[in-house]
Amino acid sequence: MPTEWQPTCSIELLRLRAQVFADIRQFFLTRAVLEVETPLLGNSCGTDPELDFFTTDYCAPPLQRTLFMQTSPEFAMKRLLAAGSGCIYQIGKAFRNGESGRFHNPEFTLLEWYRVGFTLPQLMDEIAELMAVLFSGHRALKPTQRVSYQALFQRYTGLNPLAFSLQDYCAYAQANDVPEAVSLCGSDHGLWLDFIFSHKVQPYLGESALCMVYGYPACQSSLARLNKDNSHVTDRVEVFINGIELGNGYYELTDAKEQGRRFDEEIAVRQQNKRPVTVKDQHLVSALEAGLPECSGMAIGLDRLLMLLSSSATINEVLNFPLHRA
């Protein structure tokens, strides 16, 4: 057991992290995707009702204001896209308050990239290609799986995720040893889906394989556009290996009015649930008004990826200095 001043991860894991970063950079270099850097401190932050954030006070008398530690580089990267950057990627830190556990540290490392002109299926192709590169020589993966959210949810629960019936969902919770879902989720369809999916579906996804789940219900659209052929689903994909969620991607929403409406809706939910108050990112809305190119984007948690590559049991094993040693 290392003493308090020592890193929790081994020297071998330090080298593995460096190699993964180098492989990612080489992967995108050969595809002419530009590496960029965006601020960790911003005047606004994401409005997702399920995320909490860190703030800090900026003091330069007579100016004083609250700044937000970024939960994702997404908004700033989209501003670069709107300014004409072309395809871009970033490896950097992100921060989420209150997140700690086997798969969570409040400070973590993200890979995020955006491909101009890519549809969601094209993005999924590239995700599979990147994972093949990163896992090569470390762990063998079975053939990649692609499955719709609706098919998965119905297979494991018998419930239709696109048609919410509170009575059916409550009955399912009582019959499947998760009665606490009734009080935790209430009549919120999105909360029900998150709860049931994480407890009853996700653990079975991607056994020694990359599993890509696409076509999430519209109530979980976040920053993705609705599918043009079926407005009940959104063009969103999440990736899993051995039941561990690695990342989340979208065929990106480019409609400024719709994005503003979603921000307002999420802020109202935060207020209703007495969550910390955040500020709508007007810079992003303005960038969308100026014209975000058609694109798809993906974010992957690199610390979780390193857990899988090294067969580590917890995220602390792959971090130099997790929160309790920082």
Number of domains present in the structure of the chain: 1
pTM of this prediction?
A: 0.95
- Euclidean distance between the first and final Cα of the chain, in Å? 16
275: domain CATH number is 3.30.930.10
Residue 200 domain-assigned? no
Q: Which domain covers residue 256, as residue numbers?
A: 11-141+208-325
The answer to the question of residue 90 being in a domain is yes
* pLDDT tens per residue, range 40-93: 999 999 888 888 999 999 998 888 899 999 999 999 999 999 999 999 999 999
CB 47 within 8 A of CB 223: no
Q: 97-123 as b/e, with b when 16 or more CB fall inside 10 Å?
A: eebeeeebbbbbbbbbbbbbebebeeb
121 occurs within a structural domain: yes
In a domain, 168, yes or no: no
Share of the chain above pLDDT 90, in %: 87
Please provide the size of the chain in residues.
326
Digit-coded pLDDT (tens) for 48-61:
888 899 999 999 88
Dihedral (CA of 135, 245, 107, 316) sign: negative
Q: Is residue 135 part of a domain?
A: yes
- Calculate mean pLDDT across residues 256-260: 94
